[in-house]
Amino acid sequence: MNAVSKTKKSLFADTSVSKAPVMSREGSVSIHEETTGSKAVKYLLIGISVLFLFVMLVLPLITVITEAFKKGFGEYFKAISDPDTASAVTLTLKATVIAVLFNTVFGVFAAWAVTKFRFKGKKILVTLIDLPVTVSPIIAGLIYVLTFGRQSTIYPFLEEHGLEVVYAVPGIILATVFVTFPFISREIIPVLEAQGTDEEEAAAMMGADGFTIFRRITFPHIKWALLYGIVLCSARAMGEFGAVSVLSGHLRGKTVTLPLHVEILFGDNKFMPAFAVSSILVLLAVMILIIRSIVEYIGKDRG
């Protein structure tokens, strides 16, 4: 078990929106203060950090908002109420909801299988679950094109049944599910691993069935991790660009998600509308960061 948890830890560190740094931050500050060096160094380092984050993170956000409202509110609302934008919002929401539902079901079952039982090949299973986040989005798109595209062995079958995947909505949804695949399982697995299996074993020996055990014992432990995973999964799903771009075909009003819509507008030199549509995504991103902080805070509070 030890070995497994070690590898897992290292894999999970990838794209580490980690919950690790939450603990003991406040308490340690005062102790360190004296050993931290002179005030000058302190203010210099804080200054560098603030400047760096301002130029790299804050300015791009401000740019989106100022560019979006450059021509006034009227033009802004015209840009975001465009029918193409509306269809992009719908498709993005659709892909995001499906990805979250799919990966939640997967995450819960996979976490249960990985943490409650011992079996051979667990390491390989965990590695495979994590694989999608280590692959470049473009390559993720490529492997779906190879699977469902014209040269694929199953293409005649798909064609016969009128199933379009590449350059169609199913492809976009599959790509979104792929890039967010481990997002929920990898939040739940560490929590369940830390919790152990004693409680579930006791319940099982007292005659509780699997669903009751899950509902009454396991679920209360994982609900914050699950929520956290869902937040991260939604963030990535709505913003996915590369993989979706490969599979989309960019058919306006049909296979264009919000990020792709931004790309098309920007490519057509329609900068103001591109930023107006971006502002929707910025708003969602900021909301996700806030929800993330709240979930992290409450989750930490309640253990």
Site for another protein in 136-175 (CB under 8 A): 136-139, 141-147, 149-153, 174
129 sits near another protein (criterion: CB under 8 A): yes
**φ/ψ of residue 259, rounded to 5:** -60, -35
d(CA 109, CA 114): 9
Chain mean position to CA 240: 9
Nearest partner of 240 among 302, 163, 301, 181, judged by Cα? 181
d(CA 229, CA 220): 15
Please identify which residue in 50, 86, 101, 163 interacts with another protein, judged by CB under 8 A.
Answer: 50
**Do 189 and 123 contact (CB within 8 A), yes or no?**
no
x/- map, 223-262, another protein, by CB under 8 A: ---------x--xx-xxxxx--xx-----------xxx-x
> Is the Cβ of residue 79 or residue 235 nearer to another protein in the bound state?
235
Please identify which residue in 76, 178, 224, 228 interacts with another protein, judged by CB under 8 A.
Answer: 178
Site size toward another protein, by CB under 8 A: 123
Name residue 208's amino acid. A
Least gap, CB of 298 to another protein (angstroms): 15
Cα Rg of the chain, angstroms: 23
Residue with tokens 């269809």: 87
Please identify which residue in 213, 225, 233, 256 interacts with another protein, judged by CB under 8 A.
Answer: 213
> Is the Cβ of residue 118 or residue 302 nearer to another protein in the bound state?
118
Q: What's the token pair of residue 81? A: 């109420």
**Do 238 and 137 contact (CB within 8 A), yes or no?**
no
Least gap, CB of 268 to another protein (angstroms): 12
Please identify which residue in 52, 77, 157, 219 interacts with another protein, judged by CB under 8 A.
Answer: 52
Please identify which residue in 91, 189, 278, 295 interacts with another protein, judged by CB under 8 A.
Answer: 278
Please identify which residue in 82, 97, 195, 197 interacts with another protein, judged by CB under 8 A.
Answer: 197
